[in-house]
Chains A and B, each alone.
Chain A
């Protein structure tokens, strides 16, 4: 049962991890901690629902329309709302994204109403069953799909950031915008790209979790909270950090749920994370920064 719980934890955690990843990419390049992140993804889940269940398009097409929409929302929010006010204080920036969250929630309510909508699982067949001496592990097909998609996205992203010129340019902007500009990097383009990637990851996360949560305006609330926690645990500036952060939270949650208390699983997990932060305030893989007056 321990293995089984750990595997289930890894799967839940991988969802936390990609949400954290999306948050971190946008944060690294543009310095915005996006509180509306999950809600941007939620809109894409509704787009999928509209295409697939209301219009009757096919699953794959609807899926890609929704992801494309997510990247568009990411672009539009950064370019239209946040870019013009880049220089306000970080606290005000957080509150602007909070305002955006409220607007998105309201827009979803106004357009699609507040009923729970269903998105079917892509894979519904029998689960994968692994037997080994003395134990048995069951993994539902949808979970395998989640794991596969998340792994693919993470690998693609790491390759992109490390091997392509654009990816390197983006990292340069993340490290020091001024110097990157002097080197001839189009930092404005890099900012847009980071939000496009972030927006499409958010949409993807929403689509993966939607069959389980149903589609409704607050569907991403929990995932967003855990994504933030994962990002912070990982150091908020580190991509491997957010992946490790997400997966460890998923595992901690399931183990706490099994051996301590189902009802207090979030509480205990959060307590563990706060404890880690107190010991290591910059997160697992973050770096302490020298501050000047």
Chain B
């Protein structure tokens, strides 16, 4: 009995030390601003989370080297949620209630972002940039939530339009991950096809944890569509593409922007050659020399933190997240408040940073970015095959 009492007290003390935190609120200190992020640093999507975190760190390191923003350095707390929403929920609670972060910046993953969106908004914590294109983030607009990436519904529209108008396809098959990402892409594709008086030739939903797609691919083969859209994430998309190639099928494949990263080529090897992807993070080409200068600046900043490393497009996403937040913090003035950040972000009007291009927020329209382009994998590199496309 006594021992048990001693045990509980010791356990309590241990936990107290582990979680001892300064209770001064809101994360703004005389010399620093504490913000938080959640990233998949391990697990199936670690490749995305690690890249994105590097991009964020590279930008914040650069800012802090210059003395921070309005005299305050940015202190980034990172939690690894493995893109598992149950972990995201506890991690974000911990950030807000225990670490008292000023804002959450650049959280990764549709399930996690949607799971904590309401909580952050209710608690008045600015949630700037989500590594997700879920339309629920921007629609309806929420006071404290600022999505930047284009949403999947919009992307579905653009892909369908591209396949019909540009590639003249009529038998479009869709394989989609049976969760928010896949369902919203499918939704967008169906709506756009309906405008052309068409519908998907066939649709196959797959469980996010599947690895063997042989029965789905056999179905696909016997239906014989003329093009295939895969609305899934990097690992499963590569599995599908590889298995399609193993079955000797030769079909044009389009997949979504979360896959537009060198890691896709690295992991997929020869099998992903010829796959078409959408992109929204600009890449420098000959016809936009202005952007090439900015891109060089980005490389320089990135390589200051990670020498000789070529940043992934996930790193570019993280970099943009950091840029957007830092600019808003600057605009919020010498005594930033959470509401101050919100007001500052709502003044963004087609704002251009280094990589961040054309970002707009208003209190009633929180879709940060609405334009994309198409690219194709040729000889192991991404080659743009269209200019910027918007729906309007």
- Let me know if chains A and B touch directly in the complex, using CB atoms closer than 8 Å: yes
CB within 8 Å of B: which A130-156 residues: 138, 140-143
Q: Which residues from B are CB-within-8-Å of A115?
A: 46-47, 50
Return the contact of B207 from the options A8, A120, A263 (Cβ within 8 A).
A263
Does A1 count as interface, using CB distance less than 8 angstroms? yes
Return the contact of B222 from the options A1, A109, A213 (Cβ within 8 A).
A1
Q: How far is the CA of A124 from the CA of B221 in the complex (A)?
A: 19
Does A5 count as interface, using CB distance less than 8 angstroms? yes
Q: Which of B124-132, B242-250, B366-374 contacts A (4 or more CB under 8 A)?
A: B242-250
Q: Are B235 and A127 in contact (CB under 8 A)?
A: no
Q: Which residues from A are CB-within-8-Å of B266?
A: 118
Q: Are A212 and B43 in contact (CB under 8 A)?
A: no
Does B9 count as interface, using CB distance less than 8 angstroms? no
Return the contact of B216 from the options A120, A127, A138, A262 (Cβ within 8 A).
A262
Q: In whole Å, how far is B7's beta carbon from the nearest beta carbon of chain A?
A: 23
Q: How far is the CA of A216 from the CA of B82 in the complex (A)?
A: 14
Q: Are A118 and B243 in contact (CB under 8 A)?
A: no
Q: How far is the CA of A30 from the CA of B50 in the complex (A)?
A: 44
Taking chain B's interface residues, is the majority helix, strand, or loop, or is none over half, making it mixed?
Answer: helix
Q: Are B43 and A8 in contact (CB under 8 A)?
A: no
Q: How far is the CA of A115 from the CA of B235 in the complex (A)?
A: 11
B204-234 vs A, CB cutoff 8 Å, 1 = contact: the mask equals 1111010110111011011000000000000
Q: Which residues from A are CB-within-8-Å of B247?
A: 127, 138, 140
Does B42 count as interface, using CB distance less than 8 angstroms? yes
Known: A116-B235, A141-B246. A262 touches B204 (CB 8 A): yes
Q: How far is the CA of A142 from the CA of B212 in the complex (A)?
A: 13
Q: Which residues from B are CB-within-8-Å of A11?
A: 214
Known: A114-B42, A115-B46, A118-B269. A262 touches B215 (CB 8 A): yes
Known: A120-B269, A138-B221. A254 touches B215 (CB 8 A): yes
Does B305 count as interface, using CB distance less than 8 angstroms? no
Q: Are B267 and A126 in contact (CB under 8 A)?
A: no
Does B239 count as interface, using CB distance less than 8 angstroms? yes
B241-274 vs A, CB cutoff 8 Å, 1 = contact: the mask equals 0110011100000000000000000110110000
Q: Which residues from B are CB-within-8-Å of A142?
A: 246
Q: How far is the CA of A18 from the CA of B267 in the complex (A)?
A: 27
Q: In whole Å, how far is A41's beta carbon from the nearest beta carbon of chain B?
A: 15
Who on chain A is nearest to B218 by CB? A4
Does B170 count as interface, using CB distance less than 8 angstroms? no
Residue of A109, A116, A265 contacting most chain B CB atoms (<10 Å): A116
Q: Which residues from A are CB-within-8-Å of B211?
A: 212-213, 222
Q: Are B248 and A138 in contact (CB under 8 A)?
A: yes
Q: In whole Å, how far is B203's beta carbon from the nearest beta carbon of chain A?
A: 11
Number of interface residues of A (CB under 8 A): 37
Does B44 count as interface, using CB distance less than 8 angstroms? yes
Q: In whole Å, how far is B258's beta carbon from the nearest beta carbon of chain A?
A: 15
Q: Which residues from A are CB-within-8-Å of B50?
A: 115
Q: How far is the CA of A265 from the CA of B239 in the complex (A)?
A: 19
Does A214 count as interface, using CB distance less than 8 angstroms? yes
Q: Are B267 and A121 in contact (CB under 8 A)?
A: no
Does A12 count as interface, using CB distance less than 8 angstroms? yes
Does A257 count as interface, using CB distance less than 8 angstroms? yes
Q: How far is the CA of A143 from the CA of B46 in the complex (A)?
A: 29
CB within 8 Å of B: which A1-29 residues: 1, 4-5, 8-9, 11-12
Q: In whole Å, how far is A146's beta carbon from the nearest beta carbon of chain B?
A: 11
Q: How far is the CA of A5 from the CA of B270 in the complex (A)?
A: 26
Q: How far is the CA of A266 from the CA of B60 in the complex (A)?
A: 46
Q: Which residues from B are CB-within-8-Å of A4?
A: 218, 221-222
Known contacts A5-B215, A113-B42, A257-B215; 18 further A-B pairs (Cβ under 8 A): A1-B218, A114-B43, A115-B46, A115-B50, A116-B235, A116-B267, A121-B246, A127-B246, A138-B248, A142-B246, A143-B246, A211-B242, A214-B267, A222-B209, A254-B214, A254-B215, A262-B204, A263-B206
List 29 interface pairs A-B (beta carbons < 8 Å), by A numbering.
A4-B222, A8-B214, A12-B212, A109-B42, A114-B46, A115-B46, A116-B44, A116-B47, A116-B267, A118-B269, A120-B269, A121-B246, A129-B248, A138-B221, A138-B248, A140-B243, A141-B246, A142-B246, A143-B246, A212-B211, A212-B239, A254-B214, A254-B215, A258-B219, A262-B204, A262-B207, A263-B205, A263-B207, A265-B215
B: which residues have CB within 8 A of A?
A: 42-44, 46-47, 50, 178, 204-207, 209, 211-212, 214-216, 218-219, 221-222, 235, 239, 242-243, 246-248, 266-267, 269-270
